[in-house]
Amino acid sequence: MNSLDTYFQSIATECEPSNLYNPIHYILSQDGKRIRPRLVGLSAELFGVEAEEVRHVAAAFEMLHNFTLIHDDIMDEAPIRRGKPTVYKQWNSNIAILAGDALAIMALQELLKAPCDDATKIKISDLFARTSLEICEGQQYDLDFETMEHVSIDDYIKMIRLKTAVMLAGCLKSGALFAHASEADMQAIYDFGINIGIAFQLKDDILDLYSDTQVFGKITGGDIKENKKTYLYLTALQDANDQQRKSLRHYFSSTDFDFESKLLAVKNIYENLQVKEKTEKAIDKYVENALACLHAVSVAEEKKQQLYDLANALVKRDK
């Protein structure tokens, strides 16, 4: 679906007011991974529909994703996204909020352009709306966790299921809906997306700390800087001795510490507790679950190869 890049280059150009549309063009024209539109297209192809036919649905989910990034970066005070200044840094928070809102509305307009019957369009729109709302729920849980003293690993998995995984699952199900797949196959492909989405976010947790900023495109150690209760932190807290647990809670009680000293101290505890390796084992478990769900889809195995390959690529990536 390479035509999407060209399409996104044309969106919001020469529109007024420029301070509303230039930020939209800025984020859509960046070199993102385009995972979500790829999933829409691959799912449609799996059930016998050409990817180009679902171009507007794929565009809508990618636009929704970028809307969430604009707002997330404001809430997280993140200065860099995809190796470039975030929208609110390039302009300001008020412009970024409004541009994000406009982008979400434009995503809905894309759905209306989908070349399918009205009943299917309503089902896809309902899925899109439900996915959008669940992402907001996940984001609120993420914000709540910052001030909660006790957050369990199960709580965290629930949060990332909503904040990250439902988007990937929704993309996959929308392609299946467009292609009129069976209810059982739609559920299986959705569950595949949920498990891959959870694995994807756990990999993101690792990359936030164990990656090159130039490659990852974001500040390394940002989760520690912002006291994010990630899978790494919660696993460390669970497995730590009393002194390690006291130190972790001390460092995650404030953002006023010298960042480099805090990063080094927390990373040292993580490494002593083999937190990275434990997170990688959890990723393997969710990937295994995902592949079992994909195997259950009633389509010839050779037709699923691109989804198998994409699933493995998502969890082996370095950015």
The residues, ordered by sequence, that sit 6+ positions from 68 with a Cβ below 8 Å of its Cβ are 135, 139, 167
* 305-315 vs 183-209: helix crossing angle, rounded to 10: 20
Dist. CA 179–CA 54, nearest whole Å: 9
Element (H or E) spanning 81, and its range?
strand 80-81
Closest CA to 133 of 155, 166, 100, 157: 166
Q: Identify the residue whose tokens are 């990852």.
A: 216
Closest CA to 135 of 170, 109, 103: 170
Q: Identify the residue whose tokens are 């957050």.
A: 151
How far CA 316 is from CA of 147, 194, 207, 268, in Å, comes to: 32, 17, 10, 24
Per-residue pLDDT of the chain (319 residues; tens, 9 = 90+): 667 888 888 877 778 999 999 999 999 998 778 999 999 999 999 999 999 999 999 999 999 999 999 999 999 888 999 889 999 999 999 999 999 999 999 999 999 999 999 999 999 999 999 999 999 999 999 999 988 989 999 999 999 999 999 999 999 999 999 999 999 999 999 999 999 999 999 999 999 999 876 665 667 898 999 899 999 999 999 999 999 999 999 999 888 899 999 999 999 999 999 999 999 999 999 999 999 999 999 999 999 999 999 888 888 887 7
The residues, ordered by sequence, that sit 6+ positions from 257 with a Cβ below 8 Å of its Cβ are 251
Dist. CA 99–CA 26, nearest whole Å: 11
**Rounded to two decimals, what is the model's pTM?**
0.93
Q: What is the CATH number of domain 3-315?
A: 1.10.600.10
Helix residue ranges, H only, the chain: 3-10, 18-28, 35-46, 55-76, 87-90, 93-112, 118-145, 153-160, 166-178, 183-209, 213-216, 222-225, 231-239, 242-251, 259-272, 275-296, 305-315
Closest CA to 134 of 183, 83, 196, 197: 197
Closest CA to 195 of 295, 111, 103, 96: 295
At 30, list the tokens: 């960046």
For residue 163, the one-letter residue type is K
Domain ranges of the chain: 3-315
